[in-house]
Amino acid sequence: MSAESGPKTWPLWEVFVRGKRGLSHVHVGSLHAPDATMALRNARDVYTRRQEGVSLWVVRASDITASSPDERDSFFDPAGDKVYRHPTFYDVPEDVEYL
């Protein structure tokens, strides 16, 4: 593979698979494809060959805005001592599988 965004390289796509109805789409990996339609098909071939999913999303990796490791302290640490934000003060009914 040559330069990351050279004209001969297909762009990178991030793939999300929904395992079954009721679950959220989960990031499973990435792949190269020339466009969104082909990315979806490649994702089907690479990530759902063993019946891993019922739905697929693909997103261009360059369209994702990610938090930076440098900002980790200010982003995440303040939540550390605020236990009251956790929904642990409820009784969860037994038959509710995915909450």
Partner 1 sequence: MGDSTNPVAAQYVLGLADDALVYAQRLGEWISRGPQIEEDMALANIGLDLLGQARALLTRVGELDGTGRSEDDLAYFRDEREFRNVHLVEQERAGFGFEMARLLWFSSYQCELYAALRASTDEVLAGVAEKALKEVDYHRDHATQWVLRLGDGTTESHERMQQGLRDVLPYLAELFDDDPASVAAAESGLGVLPSSLHDAAVGHVTKVVAEATLELPTETRWRSRGGREGVHSRPMGYLLAELQHLARSHPGAQW
Residues contributing to the site for partner 1 (CB under 8 A): 10, 31-35, 37-38, 41-42, 45-46, 49
Torsion of CA 93, 25, 49, 11, to 10 degrees: -170
Q: How far is the CB of 71 from partner 1 (least distance, A)?
A: 33
Nearer to partner 1, 35 or 76 (CB): 35
Q: Among candidates 35, 60, 33, 34, which has minimal Cα distance to 46?
A: 33
Nearer to partner 1, 17 or 31 (CB): 31
Nearer to partner 1, 6 or 78 (CB): 6
Q: How far is the CB of 53 from partner 1 (least distance, A)?
A: 15
For residues 35 and 32, what is the distance between their CA atoms, to the nearest angstrom? 9
For residues 20 and 25, what is the distance between their CA atoms, to the nearest angstrom? 9
